Structure 1
């Protein structure tokens, strides 16, 4: 089991990134909450990882914090929640947001995540209530310092949202709304603005 990787960040195209570790390029999928904390390409990064093995693929997932990986592993134990859905949930909500939804029985917020239906959202609330602690006071943990340089930001943001499971028309609408709110935003800032609507 690969539990941790430390190397040079080569590429990042959400939700995928490429990390060079001693000459070996590891392709990982990561939630947007991890992307916000990544350095610029060419710099070193450390990621806690989870290897998901299925009959059709071996997928490696990366997280900026060990606690995020632990939460990911808790999420995928819920019936009906696979790795892709767990990444989508962690992209739209940080750990505190998820805890608040669970302990406040906020099924409506969870249903906004692509692929999460009402029954799955209800299972998340029921099964996670005793597994995650109530959230701390509301806070914005997202780090804008790692935002990408503007330029084709709308297209990059739309592609990332589609990769997370949003329909193209919905992704376009979300990015357009984010762009209107901040016309000079980078791709990651647009994505962050769009996804924060989930937890709101």
Structure 2
């Protein structure tokens, strides 16, 4: 198990980063907030989980051990895999996840693409006591320096949203609502966060 890694960031996307570790570029899937918090050319340290499948080895990275703990714990629930667990953390930080579970806030949980009412109820039933008390810092996302370029940001953000589980139509609706922010020169990662907030309403 690769529990953590540290090295120089070679590439930072909207929901993944590539980190150079011992001369090898490791592709790590992350939440948009974690991807936005690193800088190309600078050192980064991530808590990680390696998901092993018959046909793949996929590495997931987190800004904090608490995010990693939530990611791993929610997958103990039947029907919840790494993609859905990552989508949950893209919409809610660990503190919000615990708050939603503790208060049986089904509405908050169903804001995550792929989680319906029955799935949310199952999460509450199985995880209310498992995740324990509220954790520590969730880590603040950084602000990327690259700016939106014309309409190119739409394609990048749409791809990230669809990858997290929303439909193209849902993604486009959210992009239309946040488009005015792009005119102000907001970064692509900032546009993704804004779209996530719209989808979580």
Alignment TM class, shorter chain as reference: 0.7 to 0.9
- State which of 130, 147, 150 in structure 2 corresponds to 1:149: 147
Alpha-carbon offset, residue 140 of structure 1:
9.7
Question: 1:194 maps to which residue?
Answer: 195
User: Structure 1: which 5+ residue stretches go unaligned?
Assistant: none
- Name the residue aligned to 1:53: 52
1:6 and 2:6 correspond: yes
Return closer, same or farther for 1:197/1:68 CA change in 2, 3 Å cut-off.
Answer: same
Q: CA offset at residue 42 of structure 1? A: 1.3
RMSD: 2.3
Contact 2:49 2:61 in 1 (8 A): yes
Q: Tell me how far apart the structure 2 counterparts of residues 166 and 147 of structure 1 sit (CA, whole Å).
A: 26
- Cα separation, partners in 2 of 1:89 and 1:188, compared to 1, 3 Å: same
Q: What CA distance in whole angstroms lies between the structure 2 residues aligned with 1:63 and 1:115?
A: 21
The answer for unaligned runs of 5 or more in structure 2 is none
Q: 1:112 to 1:51 in 2, by over 3 A?
A: same
**Structure 2 equivalent of residue 132 of structure 1:** 131
Partner-residue secondary structure (3-state), 1:18: strand
TM-score by length of 1: 0.88
After superposing the two structures, state which structure 1 stretch, 178-187 or 101-110, moved more. Answer: 178-187
What count of residue pairs does the alignment treat as equivalent?
Answer: 197
Q: Within 2, Cα distance between the matches of 1:147 and 1:27? A: 21
SS in 1 for 2:143: helix
TM-score for the superposition, normalised by structure 2: 0.88
Q: Please say if residues 144 and 187 of structure 2, whose CA atoms lie closer than 8 Å, have aligned partners that are also in contact.
A: no
Question: What is the CA distance between 1:73 and its match in structure 2?
Answer: 0.7
Q: Distance in 2 between matches of 1:141 and 1:21?
A: 22
Q: Give the drift of 1:37.
A: 2.2
Q: Distance in 2 between matches of 1:140 and 1:177?
A: 28
How far apart, in 1, do the equivalents of 2:95 and 2:195 lie?
A: 18
Q: Which residue of 1 is the match for residue 88 of structure 2?
A: 89
